[in-house]
Amino acid sequence: MARNRERSSLSYQVKEVLDKKLAIGEKKHIDKINGTAQDKIYSWSTYKTYMKHINYFVNWAKEIYATSTVEECRKYVDDWLIKRSEDGMSAYTQKLEASAIAKLYGCSTKDFVKTDIRYRTDITRSRGDAIRDKNFSKENNKELIEFCKSTGLRRSELRELTGNKLKFKNGNPYVVVNKGSKGGKYREVPVIGNKELVVKIMQSVGNHKVFKKIHSSADIHSYRSDYVNAYYNMISRPIDQIPYDKINRGTGLAYQSQVYHCRCDLKGIKYDKLAMKEVSKALGHNRINVIAGNYLKA
């Protein structure tokens, strides 16, 4: 009897739905081309995060509206998202929960009420000193920091990286990433900054892992941001030197199609689109607005 009650619980129903969407090891970029990526989950971390936030929602719906099935909860999604906004939940978390619930129901976040706008100034991750920094010695981890700033790899990618993933093109070092990346997507990352250190470390370990252990307090995202800004500044063109190559049909005026214009609290700031695309590619992102909103420093 207890097992039957467990199977009928909302948490179990959520798990059943998300389990069917798991696509660990599958190539996300291939599914995007085929138009099947929207209904899949490609990493365990995303799965666990979605599970947690969806359960917040369904348990609330059960408590307030006495729902007993995931289907019954569907009509209360907008109420939940509005409540989260009124409770002062960050816009980032609101969008995360909207995405998680949309994944549950196999729809788009556009089917729900609009969440609050995310402003860059509200992002606190890796901005300034954190409490955890007190437990982290920059001097003892100098090589790790330099390696990260020179490659921009994610923590999960650093964990899986082996020395034989170093390659050279036209004499320049690149790090091959095919493990630990989002969706298992393959990419070749140009090494910048302390190239000699990166080459030395990777060649010294052969086929073994580059880092046996990565300090839990290492602010990898911050070093990744440093890589983005250094790489962008290295390859970007001055905005006033980018050609006015297109004509606006409405006004008849020429404009710079290769210039990215920021919005919201960054309105007025411009970036070189071609450089942004190269940096995004190195980072493993497909959309240039990701680095504009989360990495590039105005």
CA angle 113, 116, 119 (to 5 degrees): 150
CA angle 122, 283, 196 (to 5 degrees): 120
Burial state string for 94-113 with b = 16 or more CB within 10 A and e = fewer than 16: bbbbbbbbbbbbeeebeebe
Parse the chain into domains and list their residue ranges: 2-118, 132-294
DSSP 8-state assignment for residue 172: E
d(CA 185, CA 193): 24
Each residue's pLDDT, cut to its tens digit, for the chain (298 residues) gives: 445 555 679 999 999 999 999 988 887 778 878 888 888 998 888 999 999 999 999 999 999 999 999 999 999 999 999 888 888 888 888 899 999 999 999 998 889 988 766 544 444 544 444 444 556 788 889 999 999 999 999 998 999 999 999 999 999 999 999 988 776 788 999 999 999 999 999 999 999 999 988 888 889 989 999 999 999 999 999 999 999 999 999 999 999 999 999 877 677 889 999 999 999 999 998 888 888 877 887 5
Instruction: Tell me if residue 185 falls in helix, strand or coil.
Output: coil
Which own/partner pairs from 112-115 qualify as long-range (CB within 8 Å, at least 24 positions apart)? 112/77, 112/78, 112/81, 113/78, 113/81, 113/82, 115/81, 115/85, 115/91
**Which strands form 187-190's sheet, in the order they lie side by side?**
166-169, 172-177, 187-190
Which parts of 106-210 fold into alpha helices (H)?
A: 142-151, 155-160, 195-205
Determine the longest span between alpha carbons in the chain, in angstroms: 73
